[in-house]
Amino acid sequence: MNVREASMLPYQREQRRKRLEMALPVSLGAASLTIGGSSIAAGQVASGALQLDRLDPGQAAGAFMPLRIASGAMAVANIGVGLYKLFGDEDEEKTAWQIASAAGNFVTAAGLAGQALAWGPWTAAVTGLGVATTLVADIVQRKRGE
Amino acid sequence: MQVNNSSLPYSERKLQQTASHVSRGVADVADVFVTGLNFMQPHSTGLMWLDIGMGVGHALYGISRVAVAMDEDKTPYEAQRCRTQAFGECLQVAGYVGLAAGMGPWALPIVALGAAVSNFAYFQ
């Protein structure tokens, strides 16, 4: 046990462990929203530059491509997390909130996949809905101690 | 890295932990410096290699955190702290890969988010 942990009360240690555990879904949601938001913003900048003839279509597509790949990668990560929540621990009985959280991950993945395929800014709403669902489900699940 | 050797005197362990905090601070300053360079001079070839180097460094640190988290002697708190830190490092690696791949300033929020998660876990 390290110096800092040794100085904590057991209750404090447990509270901090829960906080650290909660940081994972929160940061995954924040990363999904950041990638999704950047993708939408870059798309808007590129289309604005196209309209002003500051970029040709090839350049615009090239500039946008790394963000589309990043959106796709984040969609795959969300699917992985969702599958882990559903099938990760076979011995544990899944609660409705865990299933809702996994469903939120799949909705987020759908939104990000839409952004990777450049289906337009409305896909950001799907990403946001998925992130919100996951966060609410995770928070409720932890509050209920499940 | 946390100081776990309980056979050492308390003052020695405290000193080692302070040294660990200093090295963590230096790594954070390096992150701020490299991301600042990326913000000011995006798409530079030299910077691409620097981004790759930073990504590899964070990947190695993240792997070391996962290894520590898998150590059965660790308390649940310490194991969770290492896992969260590893996730933050993973985000930073993704950000640096994005920077090296030409995402430009759009990848900076991911690096910043990863650094925030990793530092939160380290100092929690």
pLDDT exceeds cutoff 80 at A61: no
Burial B35-54 (b: 16+ CB within 10 A, else e): bebbeeebeeeebeebbeeb
pTM above 0.80, yes or no: yes
pLDDT the model gives residue B85: 92
Residues of B in contact with A38 (CB under 8 A): 106, 109
Determine, for residues B13 and A2 on separate chains, whether the beta-carbon distance falls below 8 Å. Answer: yes
pLDDT the model gives residue A134: 92
- What is the predicted ipTM? 0.77
Counting DSSP H helices and E strands in chain A, the numbers are: 5, 0
Q: Which of B85, B91, B97 is CA-nearest to residue B123? A: B85
Determine, for residues A2 and B3 on separate chains, whether the beta-carbon distance falls below 8 Å. Answer: yes
pLDDT digits (tens, 9 = 90+) for B29-43: 999 999 898 888 777
pLDDT the model gives residue B59: 95
